[in-house]
Amino acid sequence: MFTCRGVPLWASNLIGCSFVDAHVTDLQTAPVPFVEGVYEPIDASVWCREVIKALDQHMRKIAKGEIPPPGGYLSHC
């Protein structure tokens, strides 16, 4: 998504890591253990829209200086 908008791949990875870390709870991006026989699919029609909306807000906060740019994630990812 970012690379098609002119953002280099290395920066896209940093932004992605910072986004996922910032939204672990509300977007349920934390790892989920596998339980045999249990299948709980997500509703992608809703979840994907929420991710796109949250990512837009996250990027705007970075641009406004409300949250630090994701440079600190170089050693994290």
List all residues 6 or more positions away from 45 whose beta carbon is below 8 Å from its beta carbon: none
pLDDT in the model for residue 2: 58
pTM above threshold 0.95: no
Cα gap 58→23, rounded to integer Å: 9
- Count the domains in the chain: 1
pLDDT in the model for residue 22: 86
Q: How confident is the model at residue 33 (pLDDT cuts 50, 70, 90)?
A: confident
16: tokens are: 């992605």
List pLDDT tens digits, range 7-27: 788 888 888 888 988 888 887
Q: Which domain holds residue 11?
A: 3-74
| Residue of 17, 22, 6 lying closest to 66 (CA atoms) | 22
Model confidence at 30: pLDDT above 80:
no
